[in-house]
Chains A and B, each alone.
Chain A
Amino acid sequence: QKEVEQNSGPLSVPEGAIASLNCTYSDRGSQSFFWYRQYSGKSPELIMFIYSNGDKEDGRFTAQLNKASQYVSLLIRDSQPSDSATYLCAVNDSYQKVTFGIGTKLQVIP
């Protein structure tokens, strides 16, 4: 059973701080990694994907991948109340199947 683990939260951060969201996965052969944002009552929206070890930056978002540790994270700089949502980690495993984590609920406090 391929697993993608996330802390369901909620993770509370003050406005302007850095929010750090973490995800671990069990399949060492996993090849691509995705972060989705899901607002309450809405569908998931793709915000980042990363394939290679290291960091990938897009605006206030940075995805970090460490395949040796089987760990992927999402950093949100200068967090805003509008960033409050559930963040889903998704992993494409060695069988080309995408598995989603349960999601981490982020609350940005004004």
Chain B
Amino acid sequence: ETGVTQTPRHLVMGMTNKKSLKCEQHLGHNAMYWYKQSAKKPLELMFVYNFKEQTENNSVPSRFSPECPNSSHLFLHLHTLQPEDSALYLCASSQDSGGDEQYFGPGTRLTVT
């Protein structure tokens, strides 16, 4: 266990559904991240939050909506997804967002049908 938890671990949703992914870190870190990992592709950074303020949005489609109510919690709200959005979604945290080592949660395996 790295001190970063994610729920749910697996999610199957239809293209018209709305669902949310949750991440919580118990490391006292100030920065949190969402990544997408697809087969045979590098980790894709989606969003960065530092002290609960969004500092980066990597041209992510609006059907993904992040929320960071405090430095320990991060959500990813999903709506009207496409089958190509099926992937492993990873949350990570670090002390700050300036390039510190990151610690990953176990991920949510998302399948869009």
Contacts and interface: CB of A to CB of B under 8 A. Distances in A.
Contact of A102 (B40, B97, B105, B107): B40
Interface string A84-110: 000010101000111111110000000
A88 B92 CA distance: 15
Nearest to A46: B101
A39 to B, nearest CB: 11
SS of B interface (majority): loop
28 contacts: A4-B42, A8-B40, A31-B99, A32-B99, A34-B101, A42-B106, A43-B90, A43-B104, A43-B107, A44-B43, A45-B104, A46-B102, A46-B103, A49-B101, A90-B102, A92-B99, A96-B97, A96-B98, A96-B99, A97-B45, A97-B99, A98-B45, A98-B99, A98-B102, A100-B42, A100-B43, A102-B41, A102-B42
A33 to B, nearest CB: 10
Interface residues of A, number: 23
SS of A interface (majority): strand
Nearest to A91: B99
Size bin of chain B's contact surface: 10 to 19
Interface of B: 2, 40-43, 45, 56, 88, 90, 97-99, 101-107
B97 to A, nearest CB: 7
Nearest 7 pairs of A and B residues by beta carbon:
A92-B99, A100-B43, A43-B104, A96-B98, A102-B42, A96-B99, A43-B107
